[in-house]
């Protein structure tokens, strides 16, 4: 197989990998996403080295550019999903922290306050 063909096949494989990762992110399969990410990074490293050696013609350059554009679009979508997840986790941590603090201060009575805050928000009179 020529170096150019290997590079294009590598980008196609990277494209498939990132598409799977995006579906995992959308499905909230965070553990599977992390596992896939290590394989993605290894493939990207190998491809980076191979890409340095390849001589691509104009058609191959365009195909590579199209694959890269799709990869980057999916990568951006994954990052957006990760930011949403980070925000969710931050809210959960904040609620847990409030609950812990209330329990320290008021004991069992605090759970009623925390439940009301979770249902109606912290601004409830």
**pLDDT tens readout for residues 41-97:** 999 999 999 988 889 999 999 999 999 999 999 999 999 999 998 888 888 888 888
Higher per-residue pLDDT: 111 or 82: 82
pLDDT of amino acid 86: 87
Q: Is the pLDDT of residue 120 over 90?
A: no
Burial of 27 (0-12, 13-18, 19+ CB in 10 A): exposed
Q: What share of the chain is helix, strand, coil (3-state, %, to 5)?
A: 90, 0, 10
**Whole-number pLDDT of residue 1:** 64
Instruction: Identify the pLDDT of residue 119.
Output: 60
Question: pTM for this one?
Answer: 0.70
Tell me how far the alpha carbon of residue 63 is from its chain's centroid: 25
């Amino acid at each position: 197989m020529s170096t150019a063909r290997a590079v294009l096949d590598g980008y196609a494989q990277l494209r498939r990998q990132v598409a799977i990762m995006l579906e995992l992110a959308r499905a909230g399969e965070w553990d599977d996403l992390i596992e896939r990410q290590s394989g993605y990074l290894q493939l990207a490293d190998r491809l980076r080295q191979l890409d340095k050696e390849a001589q691509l013609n104009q058609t191959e350059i365009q195909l590579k550019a199209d694959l890269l554009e799709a990869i980057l679009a999916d990568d951006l979508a994954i990052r957006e999903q990760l930011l949403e997840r980070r925000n969710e986790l931050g809210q959960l941590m904040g609620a847990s922290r409030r609950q812990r603090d209330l329990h320290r201060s008021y004991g069992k009575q605090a759970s009623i306050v925390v439940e009301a805050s979770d249902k109606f928000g912290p601004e409830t009179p």
